[in-house]
Structure 1
Amino acid sequence: MELITRHVETGCQKRHMELITRHVEAGCQKRHMELITRHVETGCVTYLDHAGTTLYPESLLREFYQDICTNVYGNPHSHNPSSRLTHDTVEHVRYRILQHFNTTPDEYSVIFTSGSTAALKLVAESFPWRPPTAAEPASQFCYLTDNHTSVVGIRGVTSALGVVSLPVSPEEIEARAKDVAQSEGSSCQTPHLFCYPAQSNFSGRKYPLGYVRGIQARQLYPACDSKGRWFVLLDAASFASCSPLDLQEHPADFVPFSFYKIFGFPTGLGALLVRNDTAALLRKTYFGGGTAAAYLAGDNYYVPTPNMASRFEDGTISFLDIIALNHSFDSLHMLTGGMDKIQLHTFGLTRYTYMLLSSLCHGNGQPVAQIYSDSEFENPSTQGSILNFNLMDCHGQMIGYSQVDKLASLFNIHVRTGCFCNTGACQLFLGITNQVVKSNLQAGHVCGDNIDLVDGRPTGSVRVSFGYMSTFQDCQNFLNFVADCFVEKPVKVDQDKLDRLKSNTSSKGSSLCLLPLLTNGKPDHIDEREHASTDPVVNQCGGKAITKDAKSHEKVQTLTNIYIYPIKSCAAFEVTDWPVGALGLLHDRGWMVVNGNRVCLNQKREPRLCLIHPEIYLSSNTLLLQASGMNTICVPLENHNEPHQSHRVCQNKVCGDRVETVDCGDEAASWLSEFLGQPCRLIRQSPDFSRDMKKGHEKEVSSTALSLVNEAQYLIVNRASVDLQESSDDHQPLDTQKLINRFRPNLVISGKEPFEEDDWSYLIIGNTHFQVTFGVYLVHQSLEDSNSTLSVGYQFQMCFRLSGL
């Protein structure tokens, strides 16, 4: 803690603190600061996913509620007084949007959409793509490889029309630029479209807004290589959340964005800004209500309305959400003073986090983080409020992003993981080839899942991002989390790198970048004496090294405990012997509790689940539910004798997988609802439903059926590993058994070496053979094992992997 404190104090001198104070006083008066601290109640959440969506302030909701309680807003397609009020208010909001981007209705039109993706789709379907002719070339759709999926998806439209789609790497735009005479190709009227993001949603890199005019004037690649008229689609979805965009200076032809990324509320609403000079090019095929000046039902006759926005807004717009934008703008300016201050504030937080995270080292000097960035966060004009990285252990091996995400959730730190719908940037920074992407898909990895490592290589990364209500304390909470859970002690800082980063700041932002503009005061710094997470994966580098110099190294050890978890996330049921079923231990995770919306409850959502103690009695075919203050209730293990209504089949999801479940009836539902204080139902996995374990882990396993478990059929814990963790931490409040219970294992063994289980290939307990899939998860090695029984006291044997594997 003292080490990090010294670094913070040397990097944040008094003059910087005074500057911040002046900024806060100038842009955010005390009453506004109080409003920001009363931001929508988040319950000690450290929210670091503002690039996904920012949060909404209490004042916005309060003012919007007061507005719709006071005024009557009718359908704007009608002409009664309430409808005219809606129409006039919506038009005022359009003006405020244009004002926000420093332009006017004379220059741009605002088309409301459901979001940025819908705006991009509108351009794709309305742009006048041309196939090749004898006189002129075909249209081209060119896009930066560092683009959102929704941009790359435009090629799905263009390919069907015979239009060329050309991906362009960021380096090519300027490197392949060349001077083109203004008169050259001026007679060619073929329209081409180039799309690039003002800010990468992956790394936060800000691309030069000067590209807009450069492409339009055919001075930059690829426009300089093709005759015709070039139009620019500037994706502002990520950029507009924390940065000012001046369309007078950078007049892009099309600008899509989503309002929730700027204000947090309303969601499901975005816009496409279209240059009026360009609007005449767009063509629509479908026409909906409110878009026609005249049409005939019995003849193919249609004339669009002359109003640009109305022509493309099919049907009734989301007028109440649009009216809410009025209050969104009010709150934003009242709380922050404008986008310029937001940009400096969020960049300061991001830069501070980058400086310390990139300088953090394990006790052996190995860096903790691999950061994916094209800059060293010197200037807010080139870097946004996004920090993208992967963490590494003390041996330089990558730690999967799912592991980071899960532990962050336990600390109530909200981050984003994966590839963030930007495969191009993900491939570039992580070194993933096209063939690897295809191979990963064959291995079972798809976008959005939690398969974070394939053959030890990351399939994605971790992203933290800041918003205008983010604070210095958020940075500290995140850095403390990383140091506590992922850094081998003692925590070290690369002082030379930190000194270089502190001095490597542009003159434009030098006095504003080292510290955030809003701060909760002096932070709680990282304490070198604090222990790391109790997770063995996190702390594997602190365990005793295991020699793997033999092909087969067998030891005889003992199974000490067997735990069944009949109901997912509820308390364990300890037994001394238990049958092995096709899905694992018989009836393990066979049931789960869902809320009124049929969403599975876990201990993070409902901590009181751990107070429910289920017990299974095979002789009477019953499941008993017990909890303090409640009568014991019996639930049949099978519902074959129940009325049909009590065991209706329904669909649910577990870890993203669809599962077929059976409702256990109203009596169990009433018992759970009373104890948990919310509408709940008990459901079990349908005996006729089969769910297979995901592929893509370190070892190939045959198709393995699962119950309602998250990962695999069994979790095994080695007492020696937990003993080492407990003994190495003088401040550990839990004894070994309580630490074991935290892991919620199925099997506990008395191992001889800490963390030797990380290197097992297979093991035999009694007569049951298991294959180790990843970490310390097990599956049956053969179907014959499904009829066996496990008992406490059984000896077992294991085999280590070959050295180097």
Structure 2
Amino acid sequence: MAGAVRPGAELLAFERFRDSSEARLAYGYGPRSLRELREREFGRLAGTVYLDHVGATLFPQSQLTSFTDDLLQNIYGNPHSQNISSKLTYDTVEQVRYRVLAHFHTSPDDYSVIFTSGSTAALKLVAEAFPWVPRGPQSSGSWFCYLTDSHTSVVGMREVTTAMNVTSIPVKPEDMRLAETQGAAACDPDSQPPHLFCYPAQSNFSGTRYPLCWIERIKSGGMCPVNVPGKWFVLLDAASYVSTSPLDLSAHQADFVSISFYKIFGFPTGLGALLVNNRVAPLLRKTYFGGGTATVYLVGEDFYVPRQSVTERFEDGTISFLDVIALKHGFDALERLTGGMENIKQHTFTLVRYTYAALSSLQYPNGAPVVRIYSDSEFSSPEVQGPIINFNVLDDQGNIIGYSQVDKMASLYNIQVRTGCFCNTGACQRHLGISNEMVKKHFQAGHVCGDNVDIIDGQPTGSVRISFGYMSTLEDAQAFLRFIIATRLHSSDGRPIPQTLTREAAAPSTQQKALNTPAVLGVRDLSPQEDTLTSSRVWDDLSTTVNVMGLCPPVCEVDESQQTPSEKVQGVLDGNSSPYIVTNLYLYPVKSCAAFEVTRWPLGNQGLLYDRSWMVVNHNGICLNQKQEPRLCLIQPFIDLQQRIMVLKAKGMEPMEVPLEENIEQTQICQSKVCADRVNTYDCGEEISRWLSVFFGRQCHLIRQSSGFQRNAKKKHRKGHSPETTATLSLVNEAQYLLLNRSSVLELRQQLNVSDENGKEELFALSDLISRFRANIVISGTGAFEEEKWDEISIDSLHFQVLGPCHRCQMICIDQQTGQRNQDVFQKLSESRKRKVVNPKVKIVATSFYKSKLLSMSKSSL
């Protein structure tokens, strides 16, 4: 981004950082060129900065190629059969088991590998099979203890133990550290009943690495999580840790270890394992048997004998044997590309320590930090810290900027991060200072795990996490740091970001607010013009009435010919340029494609007739939008109601006609999703599919919502203002109509002022900004953002309810004429609103069905 760097925003030089560091810092993999590795194995990352490796790392191309070749050259049958292909599968799977154990520096003499569907399934298996002793009159029974900095899948084990009448106790990290340093009451390792302690080798929230020496100390009785009589066993959740570090089970012999292979290799997904110490394997109890796990059983009698080995006893059904075979190619690729896990450990730590040093040093001109990092270490060594940085971005007053806003801004820079609480509520609460009561309050306010509700009553509900993988580079780290600098410490022209107009400046006066009787404003008589529904930019012969309920500033007619440009802008911002009038009407027949502007248009039961009735999907049936494919805006739809056709046009392409009528006989029903809702659609045919595929250079289809399918709007209306009827939706995200206020756009426009090299001020064209917000109804005649206070709107005899602001915002960065991105629009909107980013438009729904009615516009004086 152009512009001068503010003080405290300089990017830390990597070589200077390495020279000043006392720790061993290794970058890359010796003579192997990391850049060449990226280009050859991860070419799909070109232009993208991927920083969610703890969530899922990425597989190299050679791993997939090698695995595919293996499948094409061999026949792998069900390993439970006895034929040649089945024997090949069984032997290959057993060889992979050995490879897994060798990777963790152990052997079949000490550990067994039980393949599961993931680390979560491995943890669940232990919860169900551990030899728990229930509480009784004479005994407190077994105890299940888990570190509060544990993944959801660990905490969920307590549901199993509770059902078995077993006590579950969370243990804080500080209590364990205190017991480690000051000593703890010794436990008798030979007494009964059995207890289980589970902790993560690495926190998936902060990257903190907990001591592996806890394993032996707890097992030997030298350190007890809870001072109760009995023998302690240790379950190590290693899923996060082993993704970038070696784990030596010969030195740290946990009783159970859960892992997930896609965290290590990226592929295959849906495959994990439970490593079981053979000394404790006979203690595990089997409560279910499936295909392959029974030596013999009877159908008519309760007679069942399990397999002898722990592996055969607990792998119910046929394992995912092709995915297991894929692991062999994952191990091969990892060793060939990096030289082993120790090299990965050093490489990723160097990147995270550099990024931590640079990020923590960033300051605003007033000395305030740009980020708040949540960590239990100073990133001093890879023994105490993994390649994870968890943080929240702050403004110059120390207020937290919501993680959803940071995530959306990062995506505009092609940077992929993770946000939320990362399935680790305990660590999230501890680091962010969220009490149990606050969690419940946030839930009552509508916040659930995984949503975008990032700030409630000024309190953050989560944070931002970046994490590095073995193929991450210095360029990735620096691109992320430049993004933070560009969005927090730069303005687009190198000057301090200008202060925004206050809402008070745009609000009605006291005298205006005193008016409390609804009024009909903006009625104008227009001379009849061409009577057609298909033409665009033809003034309608009907008058337009806009009746705003509960907000009625007086009409103030202004002679614009006598005003300077600045006076015009200020007049609009004050809401005094004209009565309330509809200035533009748009519909978007194909979701995310260009607008079709009209002057009047019939209404259907889902909004403007044919608005968002079609959408473009990829080869998997996934809806494409401009955030993924900006060139969608270059496809221009035109609807001719008389000829009953829609015509699609795009530069370099012949026009393509699509019929408006649904051909029931040729309809091929398919299903897709819009805004997490399932929708029934049908494919519009091969001809339009070929047209779209040529334009985008990849396979695409045009699908249309089935006429017989009804999708209802989610009831997010304001409290106390329920719709009279349930609103049905087309392929829109949340509401039938989107309304935009020109004054709100003009306020934003002032924040986008830039100066050229001669100091001449230039503005975004108003029409350009309006097109970016993709509204259906554009109005004028009121102050900026006043529309957000409205409850109801009447246009002529049509009545609508306001549901609230629209929160979709990333697409506003895309120029609807060129498909080019400009991140400044998003950033300035955030700064101008002084709160979570929303579009300056509101969602509305019809409060009754206006079949055959027309929505019309009046000519604007703006």
Same fold (TM over 0.5): yes
In 1, Cα distance between equivalents of 2:105 and 2:96: 14
- Indicate whether 1:791 and 2:857 are aligned: yes
**Unaligned residue ranges in structure 1 (runs of 5+):** 491-527, 533-538, 797-805
**Residue in 2 that maps onto 1:556:** 576
RMSD: 3.8
1:531 Cα offset (Å): 9.0
In 2, Cα distance between equivalents of 1:477 and 1:740: 31
**Residue in 2 that maps onto 1:630:** 654
- Indicate whether 1:654 and 2:674 are aligned: yes
Q: Which structure 2 residues correspond to residues 209-358 of structure 1 after superposition, within 5 A?
A: 209-223=212-226, 225-358=227-360
Change (3 A) 1:371 1:17: closer
C-alpha contact (below 8 Å) 2:787/2:842 kept by paired residues: no
Q: Which structure 2 residues correspond to residues 488-567 of structure 1 after superposition, within 5 A?
A: 489=490, 529=493, 542-547=499-504, 554=553, 555-557=575-577, 560-567=583-590
In 2, Cα distance between equivalents of 1:251 and 1:696: 56
Q: Which structure 2 residues correspond to residues 664-703 of structure 1 after superposition, within 5 A?
A: 672=692, 675-676=695-696, 678-684=699-705, 686=707, 689-693=710-714, 695=716, 702=722
In 1, Cα distance between equivalents of 2:738 and 2:716: 16
1:758 Cα offset (Å): 9.6
In 2, Cα distance between equivalents of 1:408 and 1:145: 30
Deviations 1:418-460 (A, max 9, x none): 2222222223333333344344444443322333334444333
Paired AA for residue 593 in structure 1: V
SS in structure 2 of the partner of residue 102 of structure 1: coil
C-alpha contact (below 8 Å) 1:47/1:415 kept by paired residues: yes
Deviations 1:725-757 (A, max 9, x none): 44235489965533443333444556898x756
1:101 Cα offset (Å): 1.7
Aligned mate of 1:419, from 418, 421, 429: 421
C-alpha contact (below 8 Å) 2:800/2:844 kept by paired residues: yes
In 2, Cα distance between equivalents of 1:435 and 1:12: 47
Change (3 A) 1:661 1:68: closer
Give the TM-score of the pair, scaled to structure 1: 0.82
In 2, Cα distance between equivalents of 1:426 and 1:258: 22
- Indicate whether 1:467 and 2:533 are aligned: no
Percent sequence identity over aligned pairs: 51
Q: Which structure 2 residues correspond to residues 354-393 of structure 1 after superposition, within 5 A?
A: 354-362=356-364, 365-393=367-395
**Residue in 2 that maps onto 1:803:** none
Change (3 A) 1:393 1:74: same
In 1, Cα distance between equivalents of 2:720 and 2:683: 35
Change (3 A) 1:590 1:139: same
**Residue in 2 that maps onto 1:613:** 636
**Residue in 2 that maps onto 1:511:** none
**Residue in 1 that maps onto 2:209:** 206
- Indicate whether 1:742 and 2:772 are aligned: yes
Which stretch of structure 1 is more off in the superposition, 707-716 or 149-158? 707-716
C-alpha contact (below 8 Å) 1:451/1:696 kept by paired residues: no
1:218 Cα offset (Å): 4.0
SS in structure 2 of the partner of residue 206 of structure 1: coil
C-alpha contact (below 8 Å) 2:705/2:730 kept by paired residues: no
Q: Which structure 2 residues correspond to residues 740-779 of structure 1 after superposition, within 5 A?
A: 740-748=770-778, 771=802, 773-774=804-805, 775=838, 776-779=840-843
C-alpha contact (below 8 Å) 1:719/1:751 kept by paired residues: no
SS in structure 2 of the partner of residue 38 of structure 1: helix
**Residue in 2 that maps onto 1:506:** none
Paired AA for residue 692 in structure 1: A
C-alpha contact (below 8 Å) 1:701/1:773 kept by paired residues: no
Paired AA for residue 490 in structure 2: K
Paired AA for residue 232 in structure 1: V
Q: Which structure 2 residues correspond to residues 99-248 of structure 1 after superposition, within 5 A?
A: 99-175=102-178, 188-223=191-226, 225-248=227-250
1:275 Cα offset (Å): 0.8
Deviations 1:184-206 (A, max 9, x none): 65664212111111111112121
**Residue in 2 that maps onto 1:64:** 67
SS in structure 2 of the partner of residue 193 of structure 1: strand
Which stretch of structure 1 is more off in the superposition, 200-209 or 659-668? 659-668
- Indicate whether 1:594 and 2:617 are aligned: yes
In 1, Cα distance between equivalents of 2:398 and 2:857: 40
SS in structure 2 of the partner of residue 12 of structure 1: helix
C-alpha contact (below 8 Å) 1:591/1:682 kept by paired residues: yes
Change (3 A) 1:21 1:138: closer
In 1, Cα distance between equivalents of 2:185 and 2:278: 26
C-alpha contact (below 8 Å) 2:584/2:777 kept by paired residues: yes
Deviations 1:463-515 (A, max 9, x none): 2111010001111222222333x31536xxxxxxxxxxxxxxxxxxxxxxxxx
Change (3 A) 1:198 1:358: same
Which stretch of structure 1 is more off in the superposition, 324-333 or 782-791? 782-791
Change (3 A) 1:769 1:483: farther
Which stretch of structure 1 is more off in the superposition, 28-37 or 245-254? 28-37
C-alpha contact (below 8 Å) 2:788/2:804 kept by paired residues: no
Aligned mate of 1:30, from 11, 29, 32: 32
1:656 Cα offset (Å): 1.9
- Indicate whether 1:48 and 2:74 are aligned: no
Paired AA for residue 401 in structure 2: I
1:363 Cα offset (Å): 5.1
C-alpha contact (below 8 Å) 1:57/1:331 kept by paired residues: yes
In 2, Cα distance between equivalents of 1:271 and 1:73: 21
Which stretch of structure 1 is more off in the superposition, 666-675 or 596-605? 666-675
Which stretch of structure 1 is more off in the superposition, 72-81 or 278-287? 72-81
In 1, Cα distance between equivalents of 2:603 and 2:338: 61
Deviations 1:660-690 (A, max 9, x none): 4466567765654565552413212657524
Paired AA for residue 650 in structure 2: A
SS in structure 1 of the partner of residue 504 of structure 2: coil
In 2, Cα distance between equivalents of 1:5 and 1:396: 16
SS in structure 1 of the partner of residue 591 of structure 2: coil
**Residue in 1 that maps onto 2:664:** 643
Which stretch of structure 1 is more off in the superposition, 163-172 or 115-124? 163-172
In 2, Cα distance between equivalents of 1:595 and 1:97: 37
C-alpha contact (below 8 Å) 1:720/1:752 kept by paired residues: no
In 1, Cα distance between equivalents of 2:438 and 2:611: 36
**Residue in 2 that maps onto 1:90:** 93
In 2, Cα distance between equivalents of 1:736 and 1:663: 37
**Residue in 2 that maps onto 1:487:** 488
Paired AA for residue 368 in structure 1: V
Give the TM-score of the pair, scaled to structure 2: 0.77
C-alpha contact (below 8 Å) 1:668/1:682 kept by paired residues: no
Change (3 A) 1:771 1:330: same
1:625 Cα offset (Å): 3.1
In 1, Cα distance between equivalents of 2:392 and 2:225: 33
In 2, Cα distance between equivalents of 1:784 and 1:79: 68
Change (3 A) 1:372 1:341: same
Q: Rg: which structure is higher?
A: 2
In 2, Cα distance between equivalents of 1:795 and 1:166: 69
Aligned mate of 2:746, from 720, 740, 743: 720
In 1, Cα distance between equivalents of 2:463 and 2:12: 30
C-alpha contact (below 8 Å) 2:152/2:425 kept by paired residues: yes
1:229 Cα offset (Å): 1.5
SS in structure 1 of the partner of residue 232 of structure 2: strand
Paired AA for residue 116 in structure 2: T
C-alpha contact (below 8 Å) 1:598/1:652 kept by paired residues: yes
1:235 Cα offset (Å): 0.5
Aligned mate of 1:429, from 404, 428, 431: 431
In 2, Cα distance between equivalents of 1:262 and 1:759: 48
**Unaligned residue ranges in structure 2 (runs of 5+):** 514-552, 554-574, 806-837
Q: What is the aligned length?
A: 742
